[in-house]
Amino acid sequence: MTVIDRSIDPTANQVRALRDTGSHGPVVMLNLLKFKEVADYDDAGEAPCSGVEAYARYQHAFTVTVGAISQAQVLYDGPVEQVFIGMAGSPEADWDKVLIVRYPTRQHFLAMMADPDYRLALRHRYAGLARTVLLQCAG
């Protein structure tokens, strides 16, 4: 049985900070993503696929399935081509993809996180990601 790595989830304190601090306008989330070679689902209900494919299923959920709630606007979605400044090969600089998503408000992002359909789609995120960093930026 697969153990889900909850280190890729926000803590309760991080969610509270997002909810309670910052401007009331748009928020941009910068995602640094490192994928598993093969998606690691915790059940046998999914056909084998790559971590990239599993994450694409998750991304579809927050942009399309719950798009009316999130109002997520993908600003950039592309591969990391090279480390220009930093230590190439180090975990801090070793990412497969950058995803930049804009939400109209922090409340849109938080409502998305609470949506049952979004919560179901998290299984694809867990299956596909080896690690991630999510940076909240002003929008």
Q: What is the CATH number of the domain that holds 61?
A: 3.30.70.100
H/E element holding 119? helix 116-128
The per-residue pLDDT for 1 is 44
Q: Taking the model in full, what pTM does it have?
A: 0.85
Residues in the chain: 139
In a domain, residue 7? The reply is no
Q: Name the CA radius of gyration of the chain, rounded.
A: 15
Average pLDDT for runs of 10 along the chain of length 139: 62 77 85 95 84 95 87 94 87 91 92 91 93 88
- Domain containing 50 equals 24-138
The per-residue pLDDT for 19 is 80
In a domain, residue 119? The reply is yes
